[in-house]
Amino acid sequence: MYQNKFTNNFGGKTQQRPNSGRTRFGGRSNAGNGGNRFVGGRNGGRKNRSFESQIDVSMFIQKAEPMIKIEDAKVKNNFKDFDFNPILMDNIKNKGYLKPTPIQDEIIPHILQGRDVLGISNTGTGKTAAFSLPLINQILDNPNKRILVLSPTRELAQQIKQEIRSFTFEMRVYVALAIGGAYIREQILDIKRDPHIIVGTPGRIKDLAKRRVIRFDKFDTIVLDEVDRMLDMGFVQDIKDIVSQIPTPHQTLFFSATVNRKIQPLIDSFLTNPAEISVKTQESSKNVEQNIVRVRREDKETMLSKLLHQEEFKKVLVFGGTKLVVEKLSVGLGQQGFKVGSLHGNKAQYQRQTTLRRFKENEINILIATDVAARGLDVADITHVINYDKPNNYEDYVHRIGRTGRADHQGYALTFVEDRY
């Protein structure tokens, strides 16, 4: 257990302090009990004006498991049951996909029928292929089909484009990107070639529409990916503007990890009689052991460095609250000889891409990032997520820790909680 390790290895100021209070979960939360995973628990009844008074991290940890709904849907179809074009079938096979994932199994037949769909699912469920495969098949049947895919972040848009391209090998199906932070000229040239699919972020798409490079009246299909994230990032008006300009009738594929009061009105106005599919994986927490690390603010950097020196911290994603913190940590750890990179909104797109590639290919094994830059990140073998700074809300917490423990590997999530003596 980490708990023992902290207590044994990190004496002095950063040591976990035995906590005299009972946790809200019943058990005693004292460090050194050798087994309680909710390290630290509540703050022992002390008055504390740090963020714990606003957000009790231990609540996240307690909730993280029961709130994730695991629907072990039985997969009914094989890919061959979808009657896909033989070249598409070959590409699926070459990609190594043997069976549809539950969301693919459920959603593909509806999309092929031209229905609107509401997919309640998070990343890691295979939702990119769930919408890409039937749409590519539709393009092969009807080369005039035009699809717009809206994604909250540049990285996710790029991931989607790459996945689509891996399925369109040896086909005359073209896809272009429309994302901020990258040269607009190249994108304009690509889009002027009239690709079948444009994948982009709302801001850049609107910009290209203003320049009359993108014409919304061409599209007959729109995919809204990670709508909850798009709303969090303030894209609601942009999405409404874009969708309202796509001629009706059109097919809408709407994906969100959650449905709440803010999202429901969009579902009601964008979707017509949708097929609703809810598939969530256990990725967010089932394989993730979650712990709190109590540490004084001034000791946080030292603590992080000590943790990263531990052998088992092989591939680590560290979340910092601001671009400034992220950059400072990255420079500091780099000076200590760690192989580290940083991702945040102030980085040019090519830098973000290079850093991500280096992390994926293990050229660096520590990535420091802000929430925004890490959205949708699909790196299979992250061993540890460290919340150096608190997440802002429960959704972000679950999203962050879901970056580890993927593909049935054991993952570890540590959240720094600022302690005051």
Residues that bind ligand AMP (CB under 6 A): 97, 100-101, 104, 123-129, 378
CB of 124 to ligand AMP, least distance (A): 5
Closer CB to ligand AMP, residue 352 or residue 403? Answer: 403
List the alpha helices (DSSP H) in 220-368.
227-232, 236-244, 264-270, 300-309, 323-335, 349-360
Closer CB to ligand AMP, residue 79 or residue 397? Answer: 79
Cβ of 100: how many Cβ atoms within 10 Å?
A: 23
The angle formed by the CA atoms of residues 17, 22 and 26, to the nearest 5 degrees, is 130
CB of 100 to ligand AMP, least distance (A): 5
CB of 184 to ligand AMP, least distance (A): 27
**What is the Cα–Cα distance from 401 to 317, expressed in whole angstroms?**
9
Closer CB to ligand AMP, residue 3 or residue 91? Answer: 91
CB of 31 to ligand AMP, least distance (A): 36
Spell out the SS3 assignment of 169-201: CCCCCCEEEECCCCCHHHHHHHHHCCCCEEEEC
**What is the Cα–Cα distance from 143 to 130, expressed in whole angstroms?**
20
Closer CB to ligand AMP, residue 97 or residue 174? Answer: 97
CB of 376 to ligand AMP, least distance (A): 7
Q: Which residues pair with 415 in a beta bridge?
A: 292, 387
Q: Which residues pair with 22 in a beta bridge?
A: 28
Closer CB to ligand AMP, residue 41 or residue 100? Answer: 100
Q: Which of 314, 308, 283 is nearest to 404 (CA)?
A: 283
CB of 160 to ligand AMP, least distance (A): 8
Q: Which residues pair with 251 in a beta bridge?
A: 221
**What is the Cα–Cα distance from 286 to 296, expressed in whole angstroms?**
29
Task: Label residue 181 left, alpha or beta by phi (over 0 means left) and psi (-120 to 50 means alpha).
Answer: left
Closer CB to ligand AMP, residue 14 or residue 121? Answer: 121
CB of 78 to ligand AMP, least distance (A): 10
For residue 360, the Cα-to-chain-centroid distance in whole angstroms is 15
CB of 155 to ligand AMP, least distance (A): 11
Is residue 249 reached through a cis peptide bond, with omega within 30 degrees of 0 on the bond before it?
yes
Closer CB to ligand AMP, residue 31 or residue 129? Answer: 129
Single-letter amino acid code for the residue at 216:
F
**What is the Cα–Cα distance from 195 to 4, expressed in whole angstroms?**
56
Secondary structure element (H or E) that encloses residue 333, with its range:
helix 323-335
CB of 134 to ligand AMP, least distance (A): 13
Closer CB to ligand AMP, residue 51 or residue 97? Answer: 97
Cβ of 375: how many Cβ atoms within 10 Å?
A: 21
Closer CB to ligand AMP, residue 87 or residue 209? Answer: 87
**What is the Cα–Cα distance from 249 to 266, expressed in whole angstroms?**
17
